[in-house]
Amino acid sequence: MRLGFAASAPFGADVLERLAARHEIAFCLTQPDAPAGRGRGLRPAPAKLTALRLGIRVVESLEDTLDEPTIVLVAYGRLIPRDLLDRHLWLNVHPSLLPRWRGAAPVERAIMAGDTETGVTVIKLVEELDAGPIAAQERFPIRPEDDAGAVYDRAVPLAVELLEAVLAEPEFTPQPDEGVTYAEKIGPEDRALDVSRPEEAVNRVRALSPHIGARAELEGRPVVVWKARVGDGRFVPVEVQPPGGRRMEYETWLRGLR
């Protein structure tokens, strides 16, 4: 099939890579380059980099002409206007078991909440946030050792399999009214660890690794915590990163303090 594609985040870039091996992607709609990093220099979205590497036309404005009747949208990050929703069939790939965890950070919020399973859902995009009817859905477990990166990695091939099953003739079923929850965007306050609540703190570390990082004060010093576990009912850091430094084993960091 010849498809349009819309994505910005790494999850969308990974789905684009796999889908482009099976179908002709006419364009990749993505967000414009944005300031990032310490220097706040302009940085392209991961999906843009993937599209350029694959030789796919990049579109950075919804005002550009989008010709394809079907557009796959994965972690694009912006609302699609009503006129474009009416003009195309938008198939939205969402890494959760909708209607649970509608919104910007479904994988992260699922892990923070201690969910033991998640999945991938393909829906028809509508104006209400992640509320469109379901074309396909499949679940998989969240293992105790999984961080967000591991969950996203397992969601990518499943997303492509579900798309393959529905692209030719999608059929839709309304989402149930029960069980709706929202996955708000991760903010600075979500990164702070309360190590007096070990299970919750470890889940937060897992949810924010390896892409965001949780913050704590250990031994009187601020650090980013990338890996942790619960041991004897306590929060045990495993991998940390001091300000301006590199990631390292917690014991290595402690030896440096001494």
Are residues 112 and 86 part of one domain? yes
Q: What is the pLDDT of residue 41?
A: 78
64: pLDDT strictly greater than 90:
no
153: pLDDT strictly greater than 80:
yes
What pTM was estimated for this model as a whole? Answer: 0.95
Can you tell me the distance from the alpha carbon of 229 to that of 141, in angstroms, rounded to the nearest whole number? Answer: 19
Where is the domain boundary, 138, 157, 183?
Answer: 183
154: domain CATH number?
3.40.50.170
Confidence of residue 39 (pLDDT cuts 50, 70, 90): low
258: pLDDT strictly greater than 90:
no
| 183 and 207 Cβ atoms separated by less than 8 Å | no
Measure CA of the first residue to CA of the last residue in the chain; give whole Å.
61
Segment 115-131 shows an average pLDDT of 98
236: domain CATH number?
3.10.25.10
Q: Structural domain of residue 98, as residue ranges?
A: 2-183
Q: What is the pLDDT of residue 38?
A: 67
Quick: pLDDT tens for 108-121: 999 999 999 999 99
Confidence of residue 40 (pLDDT cuts 50, 70, 90): low
Cα separation values, 86 from 70, 207, 251, Å: 11, 36, 57
Are residues 210 and 99 part of one domain? no
Report whether the peptide linkage leading into residue 35 is cis, meaning its omega lies within 30 degrees of zero: no
How many structural domains comprise the chain?
A: 2
Q: What is the pLDDT of residue 198?
A: 98
Segment 155-179 shows an average pLDDT of 97
Can you tell me the distance from the alpha carbon of 54 to that of 21, in angstroms, rounded to the nearest whole number? Answer: 10
Q: What is the pLDDT of residue 37?
A: 66
Segment 44-64 shows an average pLDDT of 96
- Strands 41-43 and 34-36, bridge-based pairing: antiparallel
Segment 43-70 shows an average pLDDT of 94
Cα separation values, 210 from 22, 72, 104, 197, 223, Å: 29, 26, 17, 21, 15
For 154, the token pair is: 């397992």
Distant-in-sequence, close-in-space partners of 64: CB < 8 Å, separation ≥ 6: 29
Are residues 69 and 141 part of one domain? yes
Are residues 149 and 80 part of one domain? yes
- pLDDT above 90 coverage of the chain, percent: 93
Can you tell me the distance from the alpha carbon of 82 to that of 136, in angstroms, rounded to the nearest whole number? Answer: 23
Match 């474009």 to its residue by tokens: 84
Average pLDDT of the chain, as a whole number: 96
Quick: pLDDT tens for 190-233: 999 999 999 999 999 999 999 999 999 999 999 999 999 999 99
